[in-house]
Amino acid sequence: MEKSSRKIWEHPWGYVEGFIVASGVLLAGLMLQLTLGNIDKAAFGFPVNIIIGALFMVGLLSLHFFLRRKKVVRWLSGVSSTIPAISLLLAVIVIMGFTPQFSDHVSREQLPPTPLRGLGWYQMTTSWPFVLLCFYMLTILGLTTLRRTTKKKGWRDIGFYLNHVGLFLALLGGMLGSGDMKRYTMSVKEGSVEWRGTDQLGQVHELPIAIQLDTFMIEEYPPKLVIIDNQTGRILPADRPEAYMFEGVGKTTTLAGNQIEILDFMADAAIVRDSNIVNFVHMPMEGATSAIKVRVTHPSIGQPVEGWVSNGSYIYPYEVLYIDSTKSVAMPVQEVRKYTSKVTVYTKSGHVRKAEIEVNRPLSIENKVVYQYSYDETRGKYSQVSIFEIVTDPWLAVVYVGIFMLLAGALFMFIAGPRQEATPERCL
Amino acid sequence: MSWDSFIYFAIAAIILWSAGALTAFKGEKKTIPSLLTALGLAVFFVFILGLWVSLERPPLRTMGETRLWYSLFLPLAGLLTYRRWGYRWILSFTTLLSVVFIIVNITKPDIHNKVLMPALQSPWFAPHVIIYMFSYAILGAVTLIAIYYLVRESKISNKGRLMAMTDNLVYVGTALITMGMLMGAIWAKAAWGHYWSWDPKETWAAATWLGYLLYIHYRLRRKASNKTSMYILIIAFLMLQICWVGVNYLPSAQGRSVHTYTME
């Protein structure tokens, strides 16, 4: 990469030394990984993360203020160390992209018993090589940023600081904060109050927040019709499945070559079975199902076929209409458009708040955020249970400052572009 | 406007873009090629708008829908580069790549319906995906330039100028993927409770981002080799492709990505 008469390890260091040092960091990580196993995030929660963060910052600042004239420190704040550090981190992330990843809550014994387990690759983000490389990159990032403060100032510095300080804060905040992030799911029945949450290990905790579920509502998309293969149950045509979303009575459509005419529709149908006759009657009640009456014509069948099709509910089984021995008309389960929980939230400190919580519209209260997480899927739109996720992340503010600085930095970069003329190497 | 009419709009747009690319090789004036390309863009965009109206949601959910935007943004990136830098071949490159994606969309059409999952119902949805698609188009154009450079290196007279153009495009493309990624992070916090979960798509997005950062930092050195720079761009674009399309096929991501919204 660099052709010069300089011998290896002779200053100024270049990319070769950079790759050796970064590989050393990786190797140290591997040794730690093989002896200690993956990092236990919980052990790095408050106050350990504060102490590590403070020591790291003190270390960076001392290197900068007392030793910045040392050649190694200069090298650590320039392109020669940056390129190898990014390359190796990138390599680790690519390995992570090719290896199935498991949650940190999966214990070592439950992971696939391959050599990759020992290397920590199945839980890369808590493995020593990954974390050490991240800290190595943070060190270079921090020192490079500090070093820039000693240089001649220019308008381009705005972009530099936004991008580099922003990334530094987002990365450091994200890494140190991960030990303090708490996530609990809470399942609440309509009309009742709940304050116990389940953590990711399945342990139940009493939380300083209580949720009363006043009402829970699900809106669905209109039902769809499909033609299925009676043998396999797969939607036809097999190479590109077709579906028709109900738009109103009287419409016609073609599905997999079959002419379908919509004769009738009930949003609340009860299915009444009388020996071998099946009747569909309108009945607005819990557990009622959607039903569509169709007439199917196809050149291969003599008489048109007519009848009701339904996707069922927790009370009724679904109902298909046989066209012939090979295929039928069926109605898949309707997709959910929106689900909303109307809640009253009580906190230990005495706050009471009424709110509507939806996916993408969480509720922030004190230092917690309450998310719409799920519902009783076996009962579908008749679910009386809403499941929430309650998240606390005390380091979020640090990460967000970083993210917004980076966003502004990206905007700067978009407008300003690269330096126009080739400039002397400023960070050797 | 339904998907069935796509082919007519696509053919009209391809004819206009090709005419723009051909006229760019003739004559000095940029007006006619620019007008033809812009007209093609308008035709193609009308189709996207029509699809948007008929689906009652932004057409950005399925892979086919994202390819649609990609096919639109490539000639746009080509046009902007052509206006700014005047390279005559750029329009034919971007048109060609756009045609490839249009053909994929015609031969392997997606299933389009009105369904938009609750997780996607957010003001971040359209900007997140559109910005990403625009940046992918610019970085796609950059990749074509890198290949052009590596194939014809000995015949290129003014390498400095070509490298300056490449740097410019990479800065714009990287700025945009940074914005797309961070908007995604803010959205993920509102939708899933965490801004970064190392979902397979996120992992490859991080890899792609680092790839382009590598290029930008490598180029800071005056002595940087042009060839190495171009190879970095090609590798970064491979990672971008894994991020965009590949995660749907990677064994490590099967059934694990929360970023999959294509359905049967």
Residue range A157-180, pLDDT digits in tens: 999 999 999 999 999 999 999 999
How close is the nearest chain B Cα to the Cα of A93, in Å?
Answer: 6
- Could you tell me if A60 and A96 lie in one domain? yes
Residues A44 and A141 in one domain: yes
Does A174 share its domain with A186?
no
The residue segments making up the domain with residue A328 are 222-334
Average pLDDT score over chain B: 93
- State chain A's mean pLDDT as an integer: 93
Q: Do A96 and B198 touch (CB under 8 A)?
A: yes
**In terms of domains, do A36 and A154 share one?**
yes
Strands (E), A135-203: 182-189, 193-198
CA distances from A241 to A227, A235, A246, A299, B59 (A): 9, 5, 16, 20, 19
Nearest chain B CA: its distance from A28 CA (Å): 23
Contacts of B195 in chain A (CB under 8 A): 174, 396, 399, 403
Note whether A153 and A276 are same-domain residues. Answer: no
- Whole-number percent of chain B with pLDDT over 90: 84
**Confidence at residue A315, expressed as pLDDT on a 0 to 100 scale:** 92
**Are residues A252 and A191 part of one domain?**
no
> Quick one: A61 and A112 in the same domain?
yes
Domain-embedded: residue A410: no
Q: Do the beta carbons of residue B180 and residue B172 sit within 8 Å?
A: no
For residues A169 and A188, membership in a common domain is answered with: no
Distances from the Cα of A88 to the Cαs of A27, A53, A158, B32, B211, in angstroms? 11, 23, 28, 48, 11
Evaluate whether residue A3 is within a structural domain.
no
Q: A392: nearest CA in chain B?
A: B193
Looking at the 3D structure of chain A, how many domains does it have?
Answer: 3
Identify the pLDDT of residue A428. Answer: 34
At B113 the pLDDT is: 85
Q: Residue B264 pLDDT > 60, yes or no?
A: no
pLDDT of residue B248: 87
Q: Are A10 and A69 in contact (CB under 8 A)?
A: no
Contact of B64 with chain A, judged by CB distance below 8 Å, is answered with no
pLDDT in tens, B88-109: 999 999 999 999 999 999 998 8
Indicate whether A265 and A349 sit together in one domain. no
Residue A427 lies in a domain: no
pLDDT tops 90 at residue B261? no
Asked, for residue A409, whether it belongs to a domain, the answer is no
Give the contacts of A128 (CB within 8 A, at least 6 positions apart). Answer: A28, A29, A30, A32, A33, A36, A38, A39, A120
d(CA A64, CA A143): 7
Q: Say if residue B252's pLDDT is above 90.
A: no
Residue range A197-208, pLDDT digits in tens? 999 989 999 999
Structure tokens at A359: 């996916």
DSSP per-residue codes, B90-119: HHHHHHHHHHHHHHHHHHSPPP--S---GG
Confidence class for position A53, pLDDT limits 50, 70, 90: very high
- For residues A110 and A28, state if they share a domain: yes
Residues A316 and A360 in one domain: no
| Residue A253 within any structural domain of the chain | yes
Q: Is residue A415 part of a domain?
A: no
User: Six-digit token pair at B41?
Assistant: 């863009």
CB pairs below 8 Å between A and B: how many?
A: 151
Decide if B168 and A418 are in contact by the 8 Å CB cutoff.
yes
B113 CB within 8 Å of a chain A CB = yes
Out of A101, A221, A425, name the one closest to residue B114 (CB).
A221
CB contact at 8 A, B103 and B13? no
User: What distances in angstroms separate CA A41 from CA A131, A138, A287, A343, A424, one per listed residue?
Assistant: 11, 19, 45, 33, 44
From the CA of B19, how many Å to the nearest CA of chain A?
30
Residue A161 sits in the same domain as residue A269: no
Of A1, A97, A174, the CB nearest to B207: A97
d(CA B135, CA B113): 26
- The answer to whether position A419 is within a domain reads no
Q: What percentage of chain A carries pLDDT values higher than 70?
A: 97
